[in-house]
Structure 1
Amino acid sequence: MQARKKGNAQGIDVSHHQGDINFKKVAADGISFVFIKATQGKSFRSKTFLKFVKDAKAAGLMIGAYHYVDDSATTPDLARQEAANFAKAIKDAGGVSTFNLPPVMDYESNKSNLSKATVTAVAKAFLEEVERLTGVRPIVYTYPSFIGKFSGLSGYPLWIARYHATKAPSDASGWSRWEFWQYSDGQYGGTLPSGTRKVSGITGPVDLNEYNGTVDELRARFTKPPVSPDKAGTFTSGTFIANGKEAGKALLYGSRTYVPLRSLANALGLSYRWDNVRKEAYLNGSKLQTVQLIEGTAYVQLKPIADAYGAVVSWDSKNKIASLKTKGEK
């Protein structure tokens, strides 16, 4: 994998173990982003998560949330339950649009002695469920000693822990580059560009990270783009009804109706994926040409997709309701 380079954006990751944090001082010390622990296991939530999100955002830092996969997650179903806990915390913090950076799966322990195949199955179930619940493709965080337990996950952005100033992590499990490198735990490893491992506003050690690019490049890659409305610059908000049940918001741009990608995919019984890096939407494995990203949610044009899969669409202009009925539904 690539080495660190001068000018890379500097960041930290924190949890309740850090105690009180003055994020204004953190930001003033050259830190531009922070990943905040949200949850662990099926029910645990960090007691400082909501406060840290609010304070870090107010300080102007780019923020992301991470979940620690517990050793009790021994099956894909249990992993999906952990993902639900994580998604609920994100929702309670204001929703995925509150965050500048994608959600993170922190998977680094295997005290249950799972096989490599099971570890991969657990990780895949968690990642896919987080993406299904949030509409955002997650990041994988792990250590060089653990990454070999994964197979077929290299399509996800990688955040690797390697406590060394200059020695780059080795290519592994299909990954040949990192997006984020945790190069110090605050006591060992590399140092900040200032030559220290100390970050103002935090008492004690804190994990140090950097993005593979400048601050502007980090913002450009992960920060959500502005809404792309129709030529008139306006849209009408309504309700999306799928097979008689409310399935989300509908947006009318001129004569075209858009609905959430996830809601439409679920109604049609199709797989979907949102590539947050490229800002691209995929339905049933095919890339969609027209997508609107609004407040962190991907919206896609309703009628062409419905027609392609034999569903019927109607628009109630008086009540602003877009309805979809799939085959076999009355």
Structure 2
Amino acid sequence: MRTRRALWTAAAGVMLVAVLGLLVANGIVWPNRILAARYDVRGVDVAHYQGAIDWDVLAAQDLDFAWIKATEGSSHTDERFAENWADATETDLLVGAYHFMSFESPGADQAAHLASEVPATAGTLPPVIDLEFYGGFHEDRPTADEAHAILDPLVAGIEEHYGAAPIVYATEDAYDLYLAGRYPDLPVWIRSVAWAPRLSDGRDWTVWQYSNRDRLRGYDGVEPYIDMNVFVGDRAELEALTLD
């Protein structure tokens, strides 16, 4: 009898874990939502994967800001950037653009490409540099010196053109390898979708991407999920970061 009861208990435990895993995988349950709920200012980041976006519908869902993918490397422009930018800036959202940093082209060229596609518009959020591994660089990671040789002129070019320091978005492993202990004047946007972020060098984060599997109304693309983020301060403090 005890053996049978133990087996049933174990089976129930396995079933509970499986159900919880399924709910998390489908974006129904997300532990970080509880931790992120303490922050009042929240927003999304989007790219062409979200397809056509009805920005009035999206903005009405208790959002304060949106960063939109604009460019990647020294020549690629997101196919929906112009449309997203025009429509998003007509809402009450604070809007900014982000650039996906390539490890395969010079930072100065990447900064020039971003400047050619994203207007330096007063009242918009500063550009973001998306620093993460992709493709074969997940396994064959550039050294810190190699990454800094690209990142340094990219940051400098953005500061010169937009008159403001960029925000740097990073995964935790990219942060540890390339940002920890460096670039003290750059605000950090950290990706941590499994637990609350704690930067390895004790630095404070400015924006936290707490989920990459939320669902909101207002978009129809190949990607059913949308990234959710919170800002560490209040909306007035976020507005203070906008371009002059």
Indicate conservation of the 8 Å contact 2:39/2:231, yes or no: no
- Compute the displacement of 1:127 (Å): 0.7
Indicate conservation of the 8 Å contact 1:64/1:99, yes or no: no
Q: What one-letter code is carried by the residue in structure 1 that aligns with 2:133? A: S
- Compute the displacement of 1:99 (Å): 5.1
Judging changes above 3 Å, is the alpha-carbon distance between structure 1 residues 223 and 98 closer, same or farther for their aligned structure 2 residues?
Answer: closer
Match of 1:109 in 2: 133
Indicate conservation of the 8 Å contact 2:68/2:81, yes or no: yes
Q: Is residue 180 of structure 2 the alignment partner of residue 161 of structure 1?
A: no
Alignment gaps of 5+ in structure 1:
187-196, 225-295, 297-330
Residues 168-221 of structure 1 show CA distances to partners (whole Å, capped at 9, x for unaligned) of 22223x4511110011112xxxxxxxxxx32121232111111112223322x2
TM-score under structure 1 normalisation?
A: 0.57
Q: What SS class does the counterpart of residue 96 from structure 1 fall into? A: coil
Q: Distance in 2 between matches of 1:209 and 1:123?
A: 24
Larger Rg computed on CA atoms: 1
Please identify which structure carries the higher helix content: 2
Match of 1:123 in 2: 151
Judging changes above 3 Å, is the alpha-carbon distance between structure 1 residues 183 and 148 closer, same or farther for their aligned structure 2 residues?
Answer: same
Q: What one-letter code is carried by the residue in structure 2 that aligns with 1:222? A: L
Match of 1:33 in 2: 65
Indicate conservation of the 8 Å contact 2:71/2:99, yes or no: yes
Q: Distance in 2 between matches of 1:114 and 1:213?
A: 34
Match of 1:57 in 2: 89
Equivalent position to 1:22, from 34, 54, 58: 54
Q: Distance in 1 between matches of 2:43 and 2:146?
A: 32
Judging changes above 3 Å, is the alpha-carbon distance between structure 1 residues 217 and 113 closer, same or farther for their aligned structure 2 residues?
Answer: closer
- Compute the displacement of 1:96 (Å): 1.2
Judging changes above 3 Å, is the alpha-carbon distance between structure 1 residues 176 and 215 closer, same or farther for their aligned structure 2 residues?
Answer: same
Q: Is residue 233 of structure 2 the alignment partner of residue 213 of structure 1?
A: yes
Q: What SS class does the counterpart of residue 178 from structure 2 fall into? A: coil
Q: Distance in 2 between matches of 1:98 and 1:15?
A: 22
- Among all aligned residue pairs of Structure 1 and Structure 2, give the percentage whose two residues are the same amino acid: 28
Match of 1:183 in 2: 210
Q: What one-letter code is carried by the residue in structure 2 that aligns with 1:71? A: F
Indicate conservation of the 8 Å contact 1:162/1:182, yes or no: yes
Query: How many residue pairs get matched?
Result: 201
Indicate conservation of the 8 Å contact 1:13/1:36, yes or no: yes
- Compute the displacement of 1:7 (Å): 4.1
Q: Distance in 1 between matches of 2:147 and 2:39?
A: 36
- Compute the displacement of 1:131 (Å): 0.9
Indicate conservation of the 8 Å contact 2:133/2:141, yes or no: no
Q: Distance in 1 between matches of 2:117 and 2:54?
A: 22
Q: Distance in 2 between matches of 1:79 and 1:216?
A: 32
Judging changes above 3 Å, is the alpha-carbon distance between structure 1 residues 5 and 121 closer, same or farther for their aligned structure 2 residues?
Answer: farther
Match of 2:175 in 1: 147
Q: Distance in 1 between matches of 2:174 and 2:99?
A: 17
Match of 1:71 in 2: 103
Q: What one-letter code is carried by the residue in structure 1 that aligns with 2:64? A: S
Indicate conservation of the 8 Å contact 2:103/2:147, yes or no: no
- Compute the displacement of 1:134 (Å): 2.0
Q: Distance in 2 between matches of 1:216 and 1:6?
A: 17
TM-score under structure 2 normalisation?
A: 0.76
Equivalent position to 2:110, from 82, 95, 98: 82
Indicate conservation of the 8 Å contact 2:122/2:242, yes or no: no
Please identify which structure carries the higher strand content: 1
Q: Distance in 1 between matches of 2:186 and 2:165?
A: 7
Q: Distance in 2 between matches of 1:218 and 1:98?
A: 14
Q: What one-letter code is carried by the residue in structure 2 that aligns with 1:180? A: V
Judging changes above 3 Å, is the alpha-carbon distance between structure 1 residues 22 and 96 closer, same or farther for their aligned structure 2 residues?
Answer: same
Q: What SS class does the counterpart of residue 190 from structure 2 fall into? A: strand
Indicate conservation of the 8 Å contact 1:154/1:175, yes or no: no
Alignment gaps of 5+ in structure 2:
1-34
Judging changes above 3 Å, is the alpha-carbon distance between structure 1 residues 57 and 161 closer, same or farther for their aligned structure 2 residues?
Answer: same
Higher RCO, Cα 8 Å, sep 6+: 2
